[in-house]
Structure formats: C-alpha cells, structure tokens
C-alpha cells in the first residue's frame, strides 16, 4: 500500500472512530472529549496501533481546530459584553485564578518541573471548559437560572485572562531573553488593546468586510481571515489562539450569529481531530506514574471551583441551592487546558510527563464536571432534608 493510500485509510479510521466516540458520549449524556483523548492515546505511539501515516494532516488539522475553537468562543461575545462582564466579575475572577492555578503550580514544583512547568500546569488547572459548561447548562435547562450570569461572568474573566496568559506562556516557551520577552509581551498586550478598541468602535466595519450573502464566499472569507489573523498573531508571539479569539470578538451582530452557525460543524470536526492529535502525542506508559497526581489535582480543584462559584454567587445574594449549582457548573476542564498543554508539547520545553498528567487530569475533569452539575441538586436536597430532620429531633 502506498503512503498516500495508507494515510487516507488511517484518516478514515480516525474520523469514523471519532463518530463512534461521539455517538457513545451522546448516549450517556457526557462530553466526547474524554473519549477523543483516549482514542488518541490508544492509537498513538506506544498504543495498541501506531497510526503515524496521517500524522502530518493531523498536526495541521489540530492547529485549525484550535483556531476554530477560539474563533467560535470569541463570536459568543461582543466587546461591550466582554467589558461589562469583566467589570462585574473581576473580584470572583481573581479568587478563581488564585484558588485554581495554585494547585497546578504546587504540583509542578513538587515534581521538579521548574517555572515553565508550573506556569503550564497552573493554566491547565485554572481554566474551565466554556464549551462543556455551556452544553451542560443548556441540557439541564439552567440558562435562565439566576446563578447562570455569575457562572458566565467568571468564564468571561477566564477567557480574558487567557488572552494575557497565552502570550506570556508563548514567550516563556520560546525561550526569549528578558528584554526580548518584555518587548514581545508589550506587543501582545498592545495588540489585544488595539483589537478590543477596534471591536468596540469599528465592529460593524470588521463584520462588513467578512460578511457575504453567498455562503461559500462568506465561509472562505471568514476562515481565511481567522487563519490569517492567527498566523500573524503567532508570528508576533501573541498566540494563534488569542488572535482567533480577538477576531471573533470583533465580529458582531447578525454576521456573528451566521458565522457561528456556519462554522460550528467545522469547529466540531477539527476540534475532535485536535483532541485526538494531542492524545496521539502521549505515550500511554507515561500516564500511570502521574495518574495519582492527576486524581489529587482533580479532587482539589473540584473543591476549589465549587468554592469559587459558591462565593461568587453568595456575593450576588443567591441562595444556597443556586450557589451550589454555580460552583458545580464551573468544575469541567477541557479544550483550553489541552490547548495550553499542547503548546508546551509543541515547543518541547516542558517535562515529557506533563502532557500525560494534563491528559489524565482533563479526562477526569471532563467526566466529573457534567456529573457534578447533574447531581448537585439531589445532593443539596438530601442535605436540606437531613438538616430539617436534625432540627426536628
């Protein structure tokens, strides 16, 4: 079999397998991300079968997946909504950052992975999965709940924090000198400020440039603009992901809604390939030595996320059940955590075990998050009943 034929066969196996994983996940009401990661681990280096012929396509497709994930995330916000959310959520956002990044930082330092490993793992444990959380809230019919704006405002803060964090991480991974690093960071922050200014003042102009009544033309211009901006951002050490996110923010109105509708199937396809590609880069034998640390981090950061949501909801005057729902909703980790770990792998600057730990951690949290959101109400009802019984006795 020729190399081209082998690559097509392997790619077909991967895509068909992704479809099966998605069907299984949907049947159990869970996110497919854990199954995508497990599939990648099973068929990567050291796995059951080494599918290496489609690796080149997988690498490019996974980069496109990251761009589309962040572009669609940016399309969910307008610049005014983003700034309003930031003003409303910054105290809870600071608490969220400290409480959930510190466990990752501490574990990385304990394992001797240095400053870069600490920065990477802190980001992995900090950021919640907007995609999983939004789907769970929709599935459970909680989008109209009083605590949901609290959850969404914290997610907005996290997304903005990533827009600053990713350039810093890229700078560290690139091994820039202090002067070069500060210059690169200044460029990154200036770029973010300029894009937010353009989005606030000239969002309609940006939307008009990419918009078209012809779906084919619209898709080509939109995807082309996203890849172009992501490439330029990457060249400036701003991070391709942040570039795509900022472009999404700059597109507004009906153009943003149509773009989201048009890009969602592509996002789902390439994002799935991204998770598989990350899994393919992990040696399964590297997971058992760090699995205990992944479990410990999962337990600790589940508690810290629940505490963060509870505290933030309490400050908005929300009752106990709403506080518990807010905390449980924030537990899931997913796409952003893998993006961060993937950057470290791509630059080859982090300890080889870090990717395995991040993968195991996301596997656990992508499963625990939706389960926690579903069981929190019965658990709180049981606790309330128990409290009433104790008072009555």
Neighbouring CB atoms inside 10 A of 215's CB total 10
Q: Which two tokens stand for residue 278?
A: 């990350």
The predicted structure's pLDDT at residue 52: 59
Residue 313 lies in a domain: yes
CB atoms within 10 A of CB 378: 9
Q: Is residue 143 part of a domain?
A: yes
Domain range for 212: 9-23+31-380
Determine if residue 239 is left, alpha or beta; phi over 0 gives left, psi from -120 to 50 gives alpha, anything else beta. Answer: left
CB atoms within 10 A of CB 89: 23
6 vs 150 pLDDT, higher one: 150
CATH number, domain containing residue 336: 1.20.1530.20
The packing angle between helices 79-110 and 114-126, to 10°, is 130
Q: What is the pLDDT of residues 295-331, one digit of tens each?
A: 999 999 999 999 999 999 998 889 899 999 999 999 9
Which ranges in 28-147 belong to alpha helices (H)?
33-42, 55-75, 79-110, 114-126, 130-139
Query: By the 8 A CB rule, do 306 and 96 touch?
Result: no
Q: What pLDDT shows up at residue 181?
A: 66
Distance CA 223, CA 68 (A): 8
- Alpha carbons 294 and 359: distance in angstroms, whole number: 9
Any domain includes 250: yes
Q: 């949290």: which residue's tokens?
A: 365
Residue 126 near residue 101, CB atoms below 8 Å: yes
Residue 15 in domain: yes
Does 186 map to a domain? yes
| Number of domains within the chain | 1
Of 378, 381, 384, 373, the residue nearest 302 (C-alpha): 373
pLDDT of 66-114, one tens digit each?
Answer: 788 878 877 877 767 667 766 777 888 899 999 999 999 999 999 999 8
- Domain-located, residue 2: no
Assigned domain for 1 exists: no
pLDDT reading at 36 higher than 60: yes
* Lowest-pLDDT range of 104-113, 213-222, 249-258: 249-258
Is pLDDT at 293 greater than 70 in this prediction? yes
Alpha-carbon gap, residue 61 to 59, rounded angstroms? 6
Give the residue from 242, 138, 120 showing the smallest Cα distance to 184.
Answer: 242
- Mean of pLDDT over the chain: 82
Confidence band, pLDDT 50/70/90 cuts, at residue 281: confident
Q: In angstroms, rounded to a whole number, what is the distance separating the alpha carbons of residues 191 and 170?
A: 15
pLDDT in tens, 225-246: 888 888 887 777 666 777 787 7
Residue 159 lies in a domain: yes
What average pLDDT score do residues 167-193 get?
A: 74
Residue 287: per-residue pLDDT: 85
Q: How confident is the model at residue 178 (pLDDT cuts 50, 70, 90)?
A: low
Question: Residue 39 class from Cβ within 10 Å (0-12 exposed, 13-18 middle, 19+ buried)?
Answer: buried
């Amino acid at each position: 079999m020729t190399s081209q034929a082998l690559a097509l066969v392997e790619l077909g196996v991967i895509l068909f397998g992704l479809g099966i994983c998605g069907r299984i996940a949907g049947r159990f009401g869970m996110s497919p991300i854990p199954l995508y990661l497990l599939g990648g681990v099973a068929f990567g280096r050291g796995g059951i079968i080494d599918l290496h012929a489609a690796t080149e396509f997988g690498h490019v497709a996974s980069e496109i997946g990251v761009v589309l994930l962040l572009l669609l995330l940016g399309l969910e916000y307008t610049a005014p909504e983003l700034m309003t959310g930031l003003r409303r959520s910054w105290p809870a956002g600071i608490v969220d950052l400290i409480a959930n990044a510190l466990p990752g930082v501490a574990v990385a330092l304990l394992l001797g992975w240095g400053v870069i490993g600490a920065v990477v793992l802190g980001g992995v444990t900090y950021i919640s999965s907007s995609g999983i959380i939004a789907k769970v809230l929709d599935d459970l019919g909680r989008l109209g709940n009083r605590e949901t704006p609290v959850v969404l405002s914290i997610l907005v803060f996290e997304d903005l924090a990533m827009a600053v964090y990713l350039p810093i991480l890229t700078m560290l991974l690139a091994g820039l000198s202090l002067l070069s690093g500060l210059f690169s960071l200044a460029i990154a922050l200036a770029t973010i400020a300029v894009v937010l200014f353009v989005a606030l003042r000239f969002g309609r102009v940006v939307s008009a440039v990419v918009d078209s009544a012809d779906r084919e033309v619209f898709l080509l211009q939109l995807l082309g603009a996203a890849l172009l901006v992501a490439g330029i951002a990457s060249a400036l050490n701003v991070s391709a992901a942040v570039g795509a996110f900022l472009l999404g923010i700059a597109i507004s109105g009906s153009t943003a809604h149509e773009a989201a509708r048009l890009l969602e199937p592509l996002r789902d396809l390439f994002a799935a390939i991204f998770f598989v590609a990350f899994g393919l880069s992990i040696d399964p034998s590297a997971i058992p030595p760090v699995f205990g640390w992944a479990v410990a981090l999962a337990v600790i950061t589940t508690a810290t996320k629940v505490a963060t949501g509870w505290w933030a909801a309490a400050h908005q005057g929300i009752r106990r059940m709403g506080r518990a729902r807010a905390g449980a909703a924030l537990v899931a980790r997913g796409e952003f955590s893998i993006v961060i770990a993937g950057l470290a792998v791509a630059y080859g600057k982090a300890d080889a075990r870090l990717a395995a730990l991040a993968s195991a951690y996301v596997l656990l949290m992508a499963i625990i998050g939706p389960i926690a959101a579903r069981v929190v109400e019965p658990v709180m009802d049981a606790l309330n009943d128990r409290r009433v019984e104790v008072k009555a006795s």
